A = this chain, B = another copy of it.
Amino acid sequence: MSQSPFATVQALVFDVFGTVVDWRSGVATQAASFLKAQGQASADPYAFADAWRKRYAPAMADVRNGSRPFVRLDVLHRENLEAILPDFGIQRKDVAEADLASLNLAWHTLTPWPDSVEGLTRLKTRYIIAPLSNGNIRLMVDMAKQGGLPWDAILGAEVAQAYKPAPEAYLRTADVLGLDPAQMCLVAAHNADLAAARACGFRTAFVARPTEHGPNQTTDLAAAQDWDVVADDFRALATAFGV
- A contacts, CB < 8 Å to B: 74, 128, 136-138, 140-141, 144-145, 151-155, 158-159, 176-178
A153: which B residues are within 8 A, CB to CB? 137, 140-141, 151, 153-154
12 contacts between A and B (CB under 8 A): A137-B153, A137-B176, A137-B177, A138-B176, A138-B177, A141-B177, A145-B152, A152-B154, A153-B153, A154-B154, A158-B176, A159-B159
Q: Does the CB pair A178–B74 fall under 8 Å?
A: yes
Closest 8 pairs between A and B when the two form their complex, measured CB to CB: A153-B154, A138-B178, A141-B153, A137-B176, A141-B152, A138-B177, A128-B141, A137-B153
A141: which B residues are within 8 A, CB to CB? 128, 152-153, 177
A176: which B residues are within 8 A, CB to CB? 136-138, 158
A158: which B residues are within 8 A, CB to CB? 176
Q: How far is A63 from B242 in the complex, measured between Cα atoms in Å?
A: 42
Identify the interface centre among A137, A158, A159, A177: most chain B CB within 10 Å of its CB: A137
Copies in the complex: 2
Q: How far is A140 from B159 in the complex, measured between Cα atoms in Å?
A: 15
Expressed in whole angstroms, the minimum distance between the Cβ of A220 and any Cβ of chain B is 29
Identify the interface centre among A151, A153, A158: most chain B CB within 10 Å of its CB: A153
Q: Does the CB pair B144–A152 fall under 8 Å?
A: yes
Q: How far is A137 from B11 in the complex, measured between Cα atoms in Å?
A: 13
Q: How far is A163 from B137 in the complex, measured between Cα atoms in Å?
A: 19
Q: How far is A76 from B116 in the complex, measured between Cα atoms in Å?
A: 38
A138: which B residues are within 8 A, CB to CB? 176-178
A128: which B residues are within 8 A, CB to CB? 141, 145
The chain B residue with its CB closest to the CB of A161 is B161
The chain B residue with its CB closest to the CB of A159 is B159
Q: How far is A158 from B152 in the complex, measured between Cα atoms in Å?
A: 16
Q: How far is A79 from B82 in the complex, measured between Cα atoms in Å?
A: 51
The chain B residue with its CB closest to the CB of A124 is B145
Expressed in whole angstroms, the minimum distance between the Cβ of A179 and any Cβ of chain B is 8
Expressed in whole angstroms, the minimum distance between the Cβ of A89 and any Cβ of chain B is 30
The chain B residue with its CB closest to the CB of A150 is B150
A151: which B residues are within 8 A, CB to CB? 153
Q: How far is A136 from B128 in the complex, measured between Cα atoms in Å?
A: 15
Q: How far is A53 from B57 in the complex, measured between Cα atoms in Å?
A: 46
A137: which B residues are within 8 A, CB to CB? 153, 155, 159, 176-177
